[in-house]
Amino acid sequence: MLVRYGEIGLKGKNRPKFEKRLVANIRRALGDLGRINVSKIRGRLMVKVDEVDTFEVIERLGRVFGLVSFSPVLRVDATPEAVFEAALTSMQQGMEREGYSPEESSEPVTFRVTVNRADKTFPIQSMELARQLGGHLLAGIPGLKVKLHQPDLIVSVDIREGQAFVFSQTIPGLGGLPVGVSGKAMLLLSGGIDSPVAGWMSMKRGIELEAIHFHSFPFTGEKSKEKVADLCRVLTRYGGKLNLHVAHFTDIQKEIQQKCPEEFRVTIMRRFMFRMAQRLAEHTGALALVTGESVGQVASQTLESMVAINEVTLMPVLRPVVGFDKYQIVKIAEQIGTYDISIQPYEDCCTLFLPKHPSTKPNLEKVHTAEESLDIEGLIEAALEKTETLSFYRNEA
């Protein structure tokens, strides 16, 4: 499998660090499939997995951030004879894969040839090699026709370091950066649609995640917690191991409900969440918080509310979906596999004790006054002492 990466190649002196992390992430993604070998070849990676289902390898590589595209290839010596033979085989494989059969169709199978001659010692220049390969394929396989724009198949040859890689399939990757190169962040993970998408988008920028979920037992039951665990399992397919910290939030919510004005309850609840998330972030080495907030979506996500909630933390708060509407967020959730889990009808703590008319423009002075009736430090300490940590791993059953 020939693997290509994008922006990693622009990292200058830091490029080896990014490549090393990408190689490690590929090995982790494929490690349980059998013996694998990942090697670097001048701006590319070569992944070899012995006696493994190619479709499974493709599926897993498609969930590794940092890959722009990848191709199952025939690797041969960089000689004209070997390249010509491999191109013929690759075309036949491509036709079989796509179900093209010139004998059974009145329409020809269209194709073009592309050549990347990174190794300039190869004796034939790129344009000439492409022309010769096209002629060789036309002569060797009946029913073909050259078409430069939008052909049925593209046979590609990539020549580098004395080797030729010949292929007829290019599979798009997720792009982004390898998870782990950008440090660690703490994801505030509810059971809803937005926060898993925010976590996924953070991982795409190379951020390793820890997650905190606020659980209000017995008002939210085990089904609610299991729903969040299932979301974590999906996220591990893209980022590897994920620790979920299940924080006991019942007592805090009861205190807020009993002692704070109704209009500020959501704001004060979110301020507690940020305080607790920061404590756990500092304990686990996370450098930022990540939320699924989108401007204007609910009362706690107006700019005025965000200012009031942010006041309790000095950590950067990353909001990857802040400019997305619900339709866009749902679309990503469907693509990454979290949507069907998120819409399961189990309440999370954010939907409990919800006031009829929460403030959309909370006054900070009034919020401070409302919090004076609460033992903030004592409530946080008690809640964190009851926190349960669960660990989830990539490819676990």
**Which two three-digit tokens encode residue 211?**
């997650």
Every domain range in the chain assigned CATH 3.40.50.620: 184-396
Does the pLDDT value for residue 353 go beyond 80? no
Assigned CATH topology for domain 184-396: Rossmann fold (3.40.50)
The CATH number for 2-70, chosen from 3.30.70.1510, 3.20.80.10, 3.40.640.10, 3.30.360.10, is: 3.30.70.1510
Distance CA 307, CA 92 (A): 61
Give the model confidence (pLDDT) of 181-231 as tens digits.
999 999 999 989 999 999 999 999 999 999 999 998 767 778 889 999 999
Q: Which CATH superfamily is domain 76-168 in?
A: THUMP superfamily (3.30.2300.10)
- What number of other Cβ atoms are within 10 A of residue 25's Cβ? 23
pLDDT confidence of residue 349: 52
Identity of residue 165: F
Q: Please state, in angstroms and rounded to a whole number, the distance separating the CA atoms of residues 109 and 101.
A: 8
Is the CA virtual torsion 242, 63, 52, 35 positive or negative? negative
Rounded to two decimals, what is the model's pTM? 0.90
Average pLDDT, rounded, for the chain: 91
Q: Residue 64: pLDDT above 70?
A: yes
Query: pLDDT tens digit string along 249-308?
Result: 999 999 999 999 988 999 999 999 999 999 999 999 999 999 999 987 776 788 989 999
Quickly state the pLDDT bin for 348 (edges 50, 70, 90): low
Mind listing the pLDDT tens digit for each residue in 83-97?
Answer: 999 999 999 999 999
Q: Which residues contact 147 (CB under 8 A, 6 or more apart)?
A: 110, 111, 112
Banded pLDDT at 43 (limits 50, 70, 90) = confident
